[in-house]
Amino acid sequence: MQRFFDIVFSLIGLILTSPIFLVMAIVIAIDSPGGVFYKGERIGKDGKPFKMYKFRSMVPNAAQIGAVNVMDNDNRVTRVGHFLRKSKIDELPQFINVLKGDMSFVGPRPEVQCFVDMYTEEEEVILTMRPGITDWASMANFKQYEILGELGDKINPDDVYVKLIRPLKLKLQLYHVEHNSLGSYFKIIFWTVYKVISRSEKLPKEIEPMVEQYAKEILVVKEELLKA
């Protein structure tokens, strides 16, 4: 049933956002050379790699000249790219991935191979689900680029991601796998739209206790990173 809604919503989404695709294609092409779309390899369901589409927000060879994770003030990000990332418009081409079946609207955000290789046996269950455009972890880490930017000038952004962001992300993705349902599918879509429009820091009651507890625990890790 979820796949049915994925197909319907992705078709509707592509039709409704087609004017945005046209405008972004023109703006990105004018802003910097390198093409309109970014196609990055991610690991999908059952560990199979696929190309995830985004509007290009960085210089063409960004993956070869810096960290995997991108800071808010990363000099690889183009002028238009800053707007694309903060507004989340760069994610719209993933409607194509959803239509193709690589992704779902709702599911654990796909990772690059190096972070999938870090999965424990317990965490590998995440790969049993089709990855998604959004999930509970996306809401908890809504300002991930800003967090990376705050510490990225002092610490490698990939270390910030692994130590400060990824642990909570994994907890929430495991929670999603255990509590996946059609009801949670629609609730996550609703909350994602709400947060994109309102920019609110409010969180759904399902994950708020986990996020608050983790926020307390992470202070020690942050201090240790800054001292290292």
Q: Has residue 145 got a pLDDT over 60?
A: no
**pLDDT score of 147:** 58
* pTM for the model: 0.86
**pLDDT score of 95:** 97
Domain boundaries, the chain: 2-227
Indicate the pLDDT class of residue 128, thresholds 50, 70 and 90: very high
18 vs 86: which has the higher pLDDT = 18
Indicate the pLDDT class of residue 141, thresholds 50, 70 and 90: confident
**pLDDT score of 99:** 97
Bridge partner list, 205: none
**Mean pLDDT on 149-169:** 75
Torsion angle of alpha carbons 122, 123, 127, 130, nearest 10°? 120
73 vs 149: which has the higher pLDDT = 73
Q: In angstroms, rounded to a whole number, what is the distance separating the alpha carbons of residues 200 and 96?
A: 28
The residue type of 56 is R
**pLDDT score of 218:** 75
Indicate the pLDDT class of residue 153, thresholds 50, 70 and 90: low
Question: Around Cβ 146, how many Cβ atoms within 10 Å?
Answer: 12
The residue type of 20 is I
